[in-house]
C-alpha cells in the first residue's frame, strides 16, 4: 500500500531536498506550503514549481498572516534583515527568527495529515548549518511528535502513530546538497534568500544565502542561482 506523506515545502533548498528524500522512500507526496505573511512571495512560486517537478499528488497553500503579530524581520517592515553576519556569530538567534513558526507549521501539517489519514510528516529542519532557531532542534521535534500522538482522533483511536521525519537534521549544508544532487534535485528551482531583489535574484549576504553558498562551495558544486 502506498503511504501518504505531508511535505512542508517552503520552496527553499532544505525542504526541496526533503521532498526528494520522501519520494525516494516511495511516499506519495502531499505538499503543504504556508504563506505566513513573509515580506516576499518568491518562495511561494518556487514551492509551486517544485511541487510540479516532483509530480506531487497534491500541493496545498495555506494562508496565515503571522505578520499581524510582528516580531520578525521576515514579516515586519520595521525590522531589517541582517546582512554579512560572520559564520562565528551565525549561531546567535537573529531577528529572522519568526516566533513559534515551526510549531504553527507542524500543527497545520498535523491537521492536514489527520484529514488524509497519513501519519508521516516531513520537515526540512537542520540543526548544524542553521541560524540557531530553537524550533529546528531535535528536542523540539520529538516533543512535537509526542504531542501529535495525544492530539488527534486518529491517534487516540490507535489508527497509527505520527512520525515527524527530519532527514536533514544532522547534516551539514554541503551534505544536504550532495544528497539532493544524488536524487536529481534541480536547485535552480529553489529559493533560499531572505531578501531577494525585485527580479527574484538572491542577495548573497543574508544568513540563508551565506549558508547556502558555503554549502555549495564545500560540496565542490556551483549554485545554479544568479546572485547579484
Q: CB of 146: closest distance to a copy of itself in angstroms?
A: 6
3-class SS at 33? strand
* Nearest residue (CB) to a copy of itself, 17 versus 33: 33
Q: What number of residues does the chain have?
A: 228
**Per rule CB under 8 A, count of chain residues that contact a copy of itself:** 45
Nearer to a copy of itself, 62 or 128 (CB): 62
Owner of C-alpha cell 496545498: 60
Query: How many other CB atoms are there within 10 angstroms of residue 65's CB atom?
Result: 10
Check residue 85 for interaction with a copy of itself (CB under 8 A). no
CA–CA separation, 186 vs 188, rounded Å?
Answer: 5
Q: Looking at 3, 25, 52, 64, which residue binds a copy of itself (CB under 8 A)?
A: 64
Considering the complex, what minimum distance in angstroms separates the CB of residue 33 from a copy of itself? 12
CB of 98 to a copy of itself, least distance (A): 8
Ranges within 88-147 binding a copy of itself (CB under 8 A): 93, 97-104, 106-108, 110-112, 114-115, 133-135, 137, 139-140, 143-144, 146-147
Q: Taking the CA of residue 152 as centre, how many other CA atoms within 13 Å lie in the half-sphere pointing to its CB?
A: 26
Interface pattern 29-48 for a copy of itself (x via CB under 8 A): --------------------
Q: Check binding of 60 to a copy of itself (CB under 8 A).
A: yes
Nine cell digits for residue 107: 500543527
29 DSSP 8-state letter: E
Q: Please give the biggest Cα pair distance in the chain.
A: 54
The 3-state secondary structure of 106-158, one letter per residue: HHHHHHHHHHHCCCEEECCCCCCCCCCCHHHCHHHHHHHHHHHHHHCHHHHCC
Interface characters, 144-163, with a copy of itself (x: CB under 8 A): x-xxx-xxxx-xxx------
CB of 114 to a copy of itself, least distance (A): 4
Q: What is the chain's Cα-based Rg?
A: 17
Least separation in angstroms between residue 35's CB and a copy of itself is: 11
- Contact, 101 vs 134, CB < 8 A? no
* Residues in touch with a copy of itself (CB under 8 A): 60, 62-66, 68-71, 93, 97-104, 106-108, 110-112, 114-115, 133-135, 137, 139-140, 143-144, 146-148, 150-153, 155-157
Amino acid at each position: 500500500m502506498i503511504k501518504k506523506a505531508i511535505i512542508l515545502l517552503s520552496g527553499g533548498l532544505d525542504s526541496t531536498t526533503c521532498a526528494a528524500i520522501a519520494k525516494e522512500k516511495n511516499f506519495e507526496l502531499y505538499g503543504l506550503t504556508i504563506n505566513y505573511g513573509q515580506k516576499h512571495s518568491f518562495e511561494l512560486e518556487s514551492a509551486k514549481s517544485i511541487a510540479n517537478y516532483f509530480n506531487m499528488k497534491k500541493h496545498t497553500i495555506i494562508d496565515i498572516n503571522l505578520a499581524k503579530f510582528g516580531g520578525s524581520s521576515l514579516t515586519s517592515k520595521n525590522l531589517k534583515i541582517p546582512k554579512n553576519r560572520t559564520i562565528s556569530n551565525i549561531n546567535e538567534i537573529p531577528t529572522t527568527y519568526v516566533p513559534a513558526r515551526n510549531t504553527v507549521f507542524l500543527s497545520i501539517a498535523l491537521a492536514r495529515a489527520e484529514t488524509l489519514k497519513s501519519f508521516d510528516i516531513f520537515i526540512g529542519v537542520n540543526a548544524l548549518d542553521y541560524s540557531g532557531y530553537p524550533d529546528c532542534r531535535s528536542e523540539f521535534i520529538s516533543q512535537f511528535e509526542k504531542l501529535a500522538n495525544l492530539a488527534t482522533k486518529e491517534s487516540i483511536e490507535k489508527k497509527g502513530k505520527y512520525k515527524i521525519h527530519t532527514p536533514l537534521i544532522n547534516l551539514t549544508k554541503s551534505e544536504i546538497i550532495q544528497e539532493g544532487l544524488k536524487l536529481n534535485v534541480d536547485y535552480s528551482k529553489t529559493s533560499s534568500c531572505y531578501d531577494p531583489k525585485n527580479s527574484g535574484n538572491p542577495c548573497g549576504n543574508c544568513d540563508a544565502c551565506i549558508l547556502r553558498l558555503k554549502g555549495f562551495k564545500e560540496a565542490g558544486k556551483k549554485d545554479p542561482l544568479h546572485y547579484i
